[in-house]
Structure formats: structure tokens, C-alpha cells
Amino acid sequence: MFAPILNESILKRAQEKKKVAIHIHDLRDYADDKKHRKVDDRPFGGGPGMLMMPQPLFDAIKAIKGRRKVHVIYTSPAGKPFSQNHAKRLTRLKNLIIICGHYEGIDERVREHLVDEEISVGDYVLTGGELPAMLITDAVTRLIPGVLGKKESLVSESFEGNLLEGPQYTRPANFRGKKVPPVLLSGNHKTIEIWRKSQALTKTKKVRPDLLEKKNKGASNDGNES
């Protein structure tokens, strides 16, 4: 599942430029059951579905970590919601392991003794943790210095400062009677910047008012701290 995502576009170039190293590990390779390579079993106490067994996960993570300091993430609906600020924080860590959740989850002993944090990518259920792992990998990798061409593109994109990005236009200035706002053609960069911030605020207020609440709360906290 990972090959089409990791071997294309920005993620591919980031690896080629040695900005990031991404490795996929098959848990079945670490199963004690070499014949069937079993990694799941029924939960004690009954209940539907299967659970990921502790043995393959403990042995896999021990082998992958070696002597390095590694931050272990488990993708789970019970985790903290993933955000842009969360992705930024993860870029400051040198080594990450992402456990892709499956079935009805993992043995609780893995959570207690191996996992450093749980991450959720939304209030919905997926068939496995591979897609969330890809999402986290993409969001974190593009923030690593040198991966994207211009630092400015990171500063002005959506969710920076808890604001959505405002409308963008390109040539032609008049497309079938639909014209670009005159302010963008003025050449006055200060006026353009004010207009863009205003548009970003308007869009966020309309589409994601919850982000503005976070922004205002953050400003209030900063004031209290100062």
C-alpha cells in the first residue's frame, strides 16, 4: 500500500535528497509462528474481532530501535487529534516509529510499555492504520527544512496561525468574464497582504469558526503568560 505514496512527488524527492529515510516493516516477519506468521488472536474475555498480539510488536520495535532513541506512535481513534502544530512538533524528533493499528486494536501491554503517544486523524473508523501513517508521514516530511522549495510556502499555507488560506488566482486576469480582484493586480504588496489576511479571516470564520476560537484562546493565554 505504501509504495505508490512514498515513491512519488515530494516524498520521493525528500528521500532522494536524504532529507528523510522511510522504512516499511512487515510485522509478520517478526512472528514466532514462522509457518502461518500469525500476528493476531482472540481477546481474553470474549468479544468480537481480533487483537494484534504483543509478541510481534515487542520484537519488531526492539529490533528496529536498536540503541537509538525512538518516539513510538500508535494510530488510534483514541489518540490526540492530528494537527499542523502536531506535525511541526514531530519534525523535531530524529527517529519515529508508527504502529499501524488493525483489527480491533492492539494488546494493552503494547500501549503501556512501548507507545509514547497515540494519534487520531479524525473521528471516523478506517480498516487499518496504514492510511493514517501515510498521512502523518506526508505532513511531517514536507515540513522538514529543505524538502519544499520555498520557506514562504510553509508560512502562508492553511492552518498557519489557525487560519485557512484565502483565495488564490493565476493567469489570465479575466477568464470568460470572471475577473481577478483588482487589489491583486495593483502591485502594492502591503495592500495585497492586508487583503489576503482579511480574506483568510473571512473564510475561516465562515468555514471553520472553531479555528478562530483556538486562535483567540491562544492569544488570551499569551497575554496571561506575559
What confidence tier does 221 reach under pLDDT thresholds 50, 70, 90? Answer: low
CB 167 within 8 A of CB 199: yes
Taking CB atoms within 8 Å and a gap of at least 24, the contacts of 112-116 are: 113/58, 114/57, 114/58, 114/61, 114/72, 115/72, 115/73, 115/74, 116/71, 116/72, 116/73
The radius of gyration of the chain from alpha carbons, rounded to an integer in Å, stands at: 22
Question: Position of cell 532513541?
Answer: 69
- pLDDT for the residue numbered 23: 96
Number of Cβ within 10 Å of residue 125's Cβ equals 6
Write down the pTM of the prediction: 0.82
Question: What are 73-115's pLDDT values in tens digits?
Answer: 999 988 999 999 999 999 999 999 999 988 889 999 999 999 9
- d(CA 74, CA 105) in angstroms, rounded, equals 10
- pLDDT for the residue numbered 160: 66
Least confident of 24-28, 120-124, 126-130, 155-159: 155-159
Question: What are 34-84's pLDDT values in tens digits?
Answer: 899 999 999 999 988 999 999 999 999 999 999 999 999 999 988 999 999
- d(CA 176, CA 198) in angstroms, rounded, equals 26
Domain boundaries, the chain: 3-141, 156-225
What confidence tier does 157 reach under pLDDT thresholds 50, 70, 90? Answer: low
Three-state SS letters, 18-37? CCCCCCCCCHHHHCCCCCCC
- pLDDT for the residue numbered 103: 84
43: which 3 cell numbers? 481477546
CATH superfamily of 3-141: SPOUT methyltransferase, trefoil knot domain (3.40.1280.10)
Residue 203 has pLDDT above 90, yes or no: yes
- d(CA 6, CA 20) in angstroms, rounded, equals 11
- pLDDT for the residue numbered 218: 63
CATH architecture for residues 156-225 = Orthogonal Bundle (1.10)
Question: What are 166-186's pLDDT values in tens digits?
Answer: 899 999 999 999 999 999 999
- pLDDT for the residue numbered 213: 83
Residue 155 has pLDDT above 60, yes or no: no
Round to the nearest angstrom and report the end-to-end CA distance of the chain.
Answer: 48
